[in-house]
Amino acid sequence: MNREDIIPPGETIKELLELYNYTQLDLANKLNMEIKTVNGILNGKAPITVDTANKLELILNIDAIFWNNLEYNYRKKLNF
C-alpha cells in the first residue's frame, strides 16, 4: 500500500462539512481551535486527539470512538 492510498480521517470530516454546509472556519469555531489546526486535521497532518474526538461527537453527532478508531487506523497504516 502506498502512502498516497491511505486516506486521512479528515476526508470523512470534509464530507460531513459539505453535508452540514459548514466551512473549516465554522468547524474551528465550534471546536474552539485555530483554523490552522483544523486544516491540519482535515489534511492528515495533525491528529484527532481524544478531546477533539469528543467535540466532534457533539458537533457532528458521530461517536467519539469512531473518530478515535479512524485516527488510530490511519496512523497505524502510515507507520507500515
Q: Hey, what's the cell of 48? A: 484527532
Confidence at 4, pLDDT banded by 50, 70, 90: low
Distance CA 14, CA 19 (A): 9
* 51, pLDDT greater than 70: yes
Q: What is the pLDDT of residue 5?
A: 75
Q: How many domains does the chain have?
A: 1
Q: Is the pLDDT of residue 45 over 80?
A: yes
CATH of the domain at 37: 1.10.260.40
Domain with 21 in it: 3-78
Between CA 72 and CA 61 the distance in angstroms is 20
- Which of the four pLDDT bands, split at 50, 70 and 90, describes residue 1? low
Which of the four pLDDT bands, split at 50, 70 and 90, describes residue 48?
very high
φ, ψ at 16 (rounded to 5°): -70, -35
Is it the case that residue 76 has pLDDT exceeding 80?
yes
Cα(31)–Cα(56) distance, integer angstroms: 8
